[in-house]
Structure formats: C-alpha cells, structure tokens
C-alpha cells in the first residue's frame, strides 16, 4: 500500500486494486449513454476466473458484428488533462476493440487470448473540451482464432497526477 498526497484528499493506493482512488470507476457500474442496435451489455460475475477482477465482476459487452459499439460519458473539467487507463477482460471469444474519446481514435486492441484473463490498456492523455468526455468502444473485428466479438470492462481510471497541461 502507498499513501498518495494529491491536490485532492490523500488516499491509500493498493497497486493491484486502486478502487478507492479519485477517478476510478468499476466497469460493471458504468451506465452507457447509447449503443448500436444489436448491442447488449450487463454485469458478469468473474469469481470463477480468478482474483484479478476488481469487485470480482466486469461489464460484459456482447458485440455481435463489426461496428457494434457502446458509448459512456465520463465526467471531466474543460482544459484539465488526465491520463486514461482501462482494465479489459480477454478471452477466446473476445474481439478487437477500437477505443475513442470524443471521436478521436486512441487505440485498437485485440482482446482475444486462449484463456480468460485481464489486461491493462494505457490510452494516454486526454484534454477535455467540455465537462464530459464521450468514451466509445467499438467492435472492429476479431482475431482469426477468436470465436466472437465480445469484450469486457473491468475498470477504468482517470488520473490527473503528473499530467502536464
């Protein structure tokens, strides 16, 4: 454990589970603003897959074809940059995701793995133009070895520490 003194109140950061840090959100607690027509998402218990998932769950996103997407609204302060990190689930039936912030492609990542796992994805610095950031996750395709277009969001973290304006 590490106590972090920031502009906000001090908090204790567990390197494996930063749930109590300001700007941290559980995937399964995210409510989406809009989605494509064939999109489905919901809570999935992950206890049977090991201890890696914060809150022992994730948001299971059931993409059915390329282009299926979901959008979330993240709170922000105009002109106040932050780094964004996602923790995604990987699995044999998971696809390739394109991740956008306010319409700008940040990263494309292949969420296929032969066994169920969890991966940290650094998305870099985001400078909001408004009081919100629209985060879009889009099924871009699938790995030839994958059985589907699914994805899973364990958590996300908006960090303002060390980010230059």
Sign of CA dihedral 109, 111, 112, 115: positive
Q: Count CA within 13 A, CB hemisphere, residue 52.
A: 13
pLDDT tens, residue by residue, 105-143 = 999 999 999 999 999 999 999 999 888 899 999 999 999
pTM of the model: 0.82
How far apart CA 10 and CA 4 sit, in angstroms, is 6
CATH 2.60.120.260 applies to domain 24-159: yes
How far apart CA 41 and CA 63 sit, in angstroms, is 9
Q: What is the mean pLDDT of residues 144-153?
A: 96
pLDDT computed for residue 152 by the predictor: 95
- Determine contact, residues 78/150, Cβ cutoff 8 Å: no
pLDDT tens, residue by residue, 27-51 = 888 877 777 767 778 899 999 999 9
List the domain boundaries for the chain.
Answer: 24-159
pLDDT computed for residue 11 by the predictor: 45
């Amino acid at each position: 454990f590490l106590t972090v003194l920031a502009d906000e109140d001090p908090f204790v950061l567990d390197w494996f589970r930063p749930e109590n840090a300001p700007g941290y959100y559980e995937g399964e607690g995210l409510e989406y603003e809009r989605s494509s027509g064939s999109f489905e998402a919901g809570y999935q218990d992950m206890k049977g897959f090991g201890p890696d998932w914060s809150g022992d769950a994730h948001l299971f996103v059931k993409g059915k074809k390329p282009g299926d997407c979901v959008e979330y609204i993240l709170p922000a302060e105009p002109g106040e940059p932050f780094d964004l990190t996602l923790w995604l689930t990987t699995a044999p039936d998971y696809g390739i995701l394109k991740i956008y912030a306010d319409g700008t492609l940040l990263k494309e990542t292949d969420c296929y793995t032969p066994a169920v796992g969890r991966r940290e994805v650094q998305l870099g610095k985001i400078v909001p133009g408004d009081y919100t950031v629209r985060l879009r996750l889009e099924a871009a395709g699938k790995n030839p070895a994958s059985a589907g277009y699914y994805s899973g969001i364990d958590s996300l973290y908006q960090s303002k520490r060390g980010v230059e304006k």
